[in-house]
């Protein structure tokens, strides 16, 4: 045995290297979970996706935290730089490369106006809510480094017209 070799006789945890816990932070941002089927479906698919990958993530040393935020005011929209409902971000990265929207009757009924909400393009097909497979793939890409950080070239956030219409409609309905 050389002089540089250290031997521990305690057989305790002092010699066992601690595994660093790696974090996966998921933000789910939405306008309504009571009426909007699109937001409800996105939440359900997100929950299913997390349930399916959680054992693998835990085994790989990852801890998942989910932050569900009901965007109820323009101020919250600004704080979260909310572009369209619903939105899912993993470690700050939106799971969709681009925002596409279609008319959302439910959110239109809520605010009393015509509103477009997010639709999801996955493998060339447009969906009203993010498919579970899309969410699973986005989580795994984030874990294994396949994501592209689109947040490097951020421009100043301006609340989208669609959200202005939604919040103005809510305010008008409340004032009546």
What CATH number is attached to the domain comprising 60?
3.40.30.10
- The DSSP secondary structure of 42-68, one letter per residue, reads HHHHHHHHHHHHHHHHHHTTEEEEEEE
- Write the pLDDT tens digit of every residue in 140-172: 998 888 555 555 556 789 999 999 999 999 888
Buried residues in 55-65 as b, exposed as e (16+ CB within 10 A): eebeeeebebe
Domain that holds residue 138: 22-145
Arithmetic mean of pLDDT, 77-98: 94
Q: Determine, yes or no, domain membership for 131.
A: yes
Sheet containing 22-30: give its strands across: 62-70, 22-30, 87-90, 93-94
The number of domains in the chain is 1
Question: What is the rounded CA–CA span in Å between residue 115 and residue 132?
Answer: 25
Q: Determine, yes or no, domain membership for 10.
A: no
- Write the pLDDT tens digit of every residue in 94-137: 999 889 999 999 999 999 999 999 999 999 999 999 999 999 99
**SS3 helix, strand, coil % of the chain, rounded to 5?**
40, 20, 40
Comparing 142 with 174, the larger pLDDT belongs to 142
- Write the pLDDT tens digit of every residue in 14-47: 665 566 778 999 999 999 999 999 999 999 999 9
- The pLDDT of residue 31 is 96
- The SS3 call for residue 92 is coil
**pLDDT of residue 6 exceeding 90:** no
Q: Determine, yes or no, domain membership for 175.
A: no
**8 to 2, 3, 11, 135: CA distances (angstroms):** 15, 14, 7, 45
- The pLDDT of residue 5 is 54
At residue 14, φ and ψ (nearest 5 deg) are -65, -25
- The pLDDT of residue 172 is 85
Q: Determine, yes or no, domain membership for 168.
A: no
**For 150, which DSSP code?**
G
Q: Determine, yes or no, domain membership for 81.
A: yes
Residue with tokens 């054992």: 55
Q: Determine, yes or no, domain membership for 73.
A: yes
Q: Determine, yes or no, domain membership for 87.
A: yes
- The pLDDT of residue 3 is 54
How sure is the predictor about 13, in pLDDT bands with cuts at 50, 70 and 90?
low
């Amino acid at each position: 045995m050389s002089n540089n070799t250290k031997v521990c006789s305690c057989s305790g945890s002092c010699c066992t290297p601690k595994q660093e816990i790696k974090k996966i932070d998921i933000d789910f941002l939405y306008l309504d979970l009571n009426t909007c089927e699109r937001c409800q479906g996105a939440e359900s698919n997100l929950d299913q996706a997390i349930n399916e990958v959680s054992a693998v993530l835990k085994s790989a040393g990852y801890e998942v935290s989910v932050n569900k935020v009901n965007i109820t005011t323009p101020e919250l929209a600004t704080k979260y730089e909310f572009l369209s409902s619903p939105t899912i971000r993993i470690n700050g990265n939106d799971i969709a490369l681009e925002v596409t929207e279609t008319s959302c009757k439910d959110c239109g009924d809520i605010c009393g106006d015509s509103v477009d909400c997010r639709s999801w393009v996955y493998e060339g097909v447009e969906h009203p809510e993010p498919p579970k497979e899309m969410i699973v793939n986005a989580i795994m890409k984030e874990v294994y480094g396949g994501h592209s950080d689109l947040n490097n070239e951020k421009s100043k956030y301006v609340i989208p017209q669609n959200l202005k219409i939604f919040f103005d409609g809510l305010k008008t309905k409340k004032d009546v």
